[in-house]
Structure 1
Amino acid sequence: MKKRRGRYSKFIRPITLIIDLIIINLLAYFLLPEFAGKGWFYIFISLCWLLSSWATMYYDVFRFTRIVKIFEKIFKQFILQFVLYSAYNGIFSRFAEPKDLIIYGVVTMIIISIIKISIFYSLKIFRSQYGGNYRKVVIIGKGKEIKQLRDFFNLKSEYGYHLVGTFQDETVDIQDVLDFIEMEKIDEIYISLYLVSTKSFAKIVDFADNNLKVLKYIPKDDELIGDNYNTEYYDLIPIIPRRTIPLDNNYNRVVKRSFDLVFSTLVIVFLLSWLIPLISILIKLESRGPIFFKQVRNGINNSEFTCYKFRSMHSNTTCDDLQASKGDARITRLGKFIRKTSIDELPQFFNVFLGDMSVVGPRPHMVVHTQMYAKRINKFMVRHLIKPGITGMAQTHGYRGEVENDRDIINRVKYDIFYIENWSVFLDLKIIYLTIYNVFKGEDKAY
């Protein structure tokens, strides 16, 4: 099974959030004893913490984040917390005297700040002393800013970047550079912004997209950086990410995952609990074979997972290579109905519940098709930057089911990339609505 190291330290922020919630509740128990044992109060302060941390982007701390920025986030977080508590104190029955509230806020801020700063510096020590939690990088370009970034990577080991190579675009064959990046399993590519106007640029961008490499731009000192750029700073060196993905944001991921858990749980409990026995009987009555069809498909970061469906075909040896087509003899009579109504896809809500899939996202392909399209279709692999979905934007715009020609898969990729770069809760809800609408309306390619 193909694995790829994640772009972020996945467990640090969730663990830190849990620790913070435990601390604010424990201190409330001891410092505001009049509310000991009152569950609604602990729910209230926990929700306030989550709301304010979303508003202040409190947990968006990266390896290159400056310590001043961290203190700024801490200050904003606790000011907003205090405002929310005070507002409640003024609107509803007073739950604490101002003096007690201030003591609680100050003590909480001190303890949580110590923990946050300790984790931040512990990771720096882990990277510099033990070489862990690092990313392999290359730089392409020339100029003063390139030297500054090279010195930053080489001298600031605590940031966890391992510079493997620096290349000047004019002095090397760009294909040799890309082959080197692939051979060395480079995580991030840094490229001078002046290369945007060169022939090499498109080749580098396409390579990064098709191989799931992080690409970032290095502007020259005299280049203006507009407000629309999501600029990062490595010390004082400005770095511009190639692509901004809403679901790279921790809070957006929490929102989407929470929605997936709630939605999939409701479907499993209230629909699949009685539908699975019914469909199982009908499948067994018509043909021999398993009730569920299991197939390995490609998910986020091109990792593989087992996708579940109701079996809609007679047992055959071509299911992992040959896509279903119109009038396909392998499809059973019941299979025609459950495929037409998309009932065969419903077991994928177990995949959503387990975290392999999302309710909405790019549809996952068979491994053999992923390998084929990755070679033929430019930017096809960008679809794997987020979790695959049961339904997606491409499917609600006429590109579901069989891929009959390259135009179908090219347009599917275009819709998927648009979704990845423009995700929102409302877009998910719209896609779910269109999916349900299309099921009742009927679709030509639902076979």
Structure 2
Amino acid sequence: MNTEHPGIRFVYLLFDLLLLNISLYMVYYNSPMFDYVDLPQRNLYILHANISELLAYIIYSKQNYYFTNSYTERVKTFSIRFLILLPTLFLLAEFFLPKGYNKGFLLEYTGFFYVLKVVVFYFIYKLQQFRYEKGYAHHRVAILGMGNSDLVLGKVLNDNPSLGFKLAGYLSNTGLQSDFATLGKLDELPSLSEKYRLNMLFVTDPTYFTKENTQKLLLKCNETGVRVRYILMKGYWNNLNLIGKKKESARYFEMFNPQEIPLDSLTLRTEKRIFDILFSGVVILCIFSWLFPIIALLIKINSKGPVFFKQQRTGINNKTFYCYKFRTMTVNNESDSKQAQVNDTRITTIGSFLRKTNIDEFPQFINVFLGNMSVVGPRPHMLKHTQQYSELIKHYKVRHFVKPGITGWAQVNGFRGLTDELWKMEKRVEYDMGYLEKWNFFWDIKIIFLTLFGNKAYENAG
């Protein structure tokens, strides 16, 4: 994550201002020292505080805290910014606030602001630790090569799990073996990625950084669904004629993405995630809350079995998750291996209605809210189909570079439901590839509109 990106700095600034204003109001209404409720020109104090924090942030923005940093480093960084805030606050007060302004109020809310940040960042740090330990928030990485730089990088990853990378081992590009957890050779990547659940390959050898070698490496990795990152320790980029290339900073080293797609940007992913939370939250509260008991009752009356049908499907970075739907079939042993067919006898009466109206997909908004899926993205497939089609369709697993969606570009163009012929899945993958390569926010809005009102979104439903 590179906090020098203006979008990321802006997000951090908003977070700081949020905590500052919470501190202001908490002290104003609940001060243990004085009663500030009758403090004159309260709004002027609030404006003064926000302008002061903004200036302090601008002065020290280039030394922003990484959410990948240790807790101690985070506290050190925002402590320095706090020391910049204090003189800025009192200097501006002489020009901004009325004569005889309440200095105690300034000291009290800034002190509360500092303590609040210490506490909030502690909980953020502990939450991140928990997520990394459980494997929710890390990439499983292999390092290509076993030179000194590869071993140094491996040690950095092992010693700093909060970076978000879990080292599985090393791949040999020469066939040589080593005592340092060698997984196998680069040519064995397809089988090794399945065995060790790899989703990212780190490369430190500059000989791979040429256009020709990059294309060869990406060809192999795209067929496997593994992302590639070129890695060098900080300060070495100037020697490799990579100036102007987009870099991601991860505290100890810098990464270059040779195959960047729009949603590789943390800023754009954040925008999409915020939209997903808001959209799914509204649907769950305003529609699903009253629709669920009605549908649940109809399903129970119509056939025996659970209301929900959950199935393991392939998500982002080839990780599996449980996808939820309303149950539309009688309970059977083929649900994880056999797609629904036209006139499928397993489909119940109410299930047929739910499928034709797409109401069976509504529980997936829970998946979206939890972060397994997005409102818009490539449709997630059964694990059996992932294995089957990845062997038949070149670059099939590239569609897993982004989160799967409830609806997608392929679906609104009529490619949904039964894929009884290979060309149907090939077309679906083609549309999915176009979506992830050229994604933008307004394209998502268009797809949602076409899902609701376009005719093709309901073709081939099954």
Which TM-score bucket, shorter chain as reference? 0.5 to 0.7
Query: Which of residues 354, 357, 376 in structure 2 aligns to 1:338?
Result: 354
Whole-Å separation in 2 of the counterparts to 1:181 and 1:384: 14
Whole-Å separation in 1 of the counterparts to 2:37 and 2:441: 35
Whole-Å separation in 2 of the counterparts to 1:284 and 1:152: 55
Task: Give the C-alpha shift of residue 360 in structure 1.
Answer: 1.6
Alpha-carbon distance change, 170 to 357 in structure 1, aligned in 2, over 3 angstroms: closer
Letter in 2 for 1:371: Q
Alpha-carbon distance change, 149 to 269 in structure 1, aligned in 2, over 3 angstroms: closer
Q: Give the TM-score, by structure 2 length.
A: 0.63
Q: Does the CA contact (< 8 Å) of 1:233 and 1:239 recur in 2?
A: yes
Whole-Å separation in 2 of the counterparts to 1:360 and 1:299: 13
The residue aligned with 1:138 is: 143
The residue aligned with 1:389 is: 405
Whole-Å separation in 2 of the counterparts to 1:169 and 1:197: 18
Question: 2:399 aligns to what SS in structure 1?
Answer: helix
Q: Does the CA contact (< 8 Å) of 1:356 and 1:387 recur in 2?
A: yes
Q: How does 1:389-428 map to 2 (within 5 A)?
A: 389-428=405-444
Whole-Å separation in 2 of the counterparts to 1:302 and 1:399: 22
Query: Which of residues 450, 456, 459 in structure 2 aligns to 1:434?
Result: 450
The answer for unaligned runs of 5 or more in structure 2 is: 1-10, 127-137, 178-184
Question: 1:175 aligns to what SS in structure 2?
Answer: helix
The residue aligned with 2:187 is: 175
Bigger relative contact order, structure 1 or 2 (CA pairs below 8 A, ≥6 apart): 1
Task: Give the C-alpha shift of residue 257 in structure 1.
Answer: 3.3
1:189 aligns with 2:202: yes
1:298-352 Cα shifts (integer Å, max 9, x gaps):
3333333332222333443322211112333333444333222212212222332
The answer for unaligned runs of 5 or more in structure 1 is: 1-13, 123-132
Task: Give the C-alpha shift of residue 44 in structure 1.
Answer: 12
1:48-84 Cα shifts (integer Å, max 9, x gaps):
989x99xx795656579xx9xx979x87xx89xx89x
Task: Give the C-alpha shift of residue 267 in structure 1.
Answer: 2.0
1:192-251 Cα shifts (integer Å, max 9, x gaps):
454466987556424434555441236997653253x31246899764223335545555
Alpha-carbon distance change, 36 to 272 in structure 1, aligned in 2, over 3 angstroms: farther
Question: 1:312 aligns to what SS in structure 2?
Answer: coil
Q: How does 1:166-315 map to 2 (within 5 A)?
A: 167=172, 174-175=186-187, 188-190=201-203, 192=205, 194-195=207-208, 204-217=217-230, 223-225=240-242, 227=244, 229-232=245-248, 239-315=255-331
1:378 aligns with 2:404: no
The residue aligned with 1:126 is: none
Task: Please tell me the root mean square deviation across aligned C-alpha atoms, in Å.
Answer: 5.6
Q: How does 1:104-183 map to 2 (within 5 A)?
A: 137-140=142-145, 164-165=169-170, 167=172, 174-175=186-187
Task: Give the C-alpha shift of residue 365 in structure 1.
Answer: 1.2
Question: 2:340 aligns to what SS in structure 1?
Answer: coil
Question: 1:394 aligns to what SS in structure 2?
Answer: helix
Task: Give the C-alpha shift of residue 100 in structure 1.
Answer: 9.1
Whole-Å separation in 2 of the counterparts to 1:279 and 1:362: 26
Letter in 2 for 1:208: C
Whole-Å separation in 1 of the counterparts to 2:189 and 2:241: 28
Q: Does the CA contact (< 8 Å) of 2:27 and 2:109 recur in 1?
A: no
Letter in 1 for 2:311: Q
Task: Give the C-alpha shift of residue 400 in structure 1.
Answer: 1.3
Question: 2:259 aligns to what SS in structure 1?
Answer: coil
Letter in 1 for 2:393: I
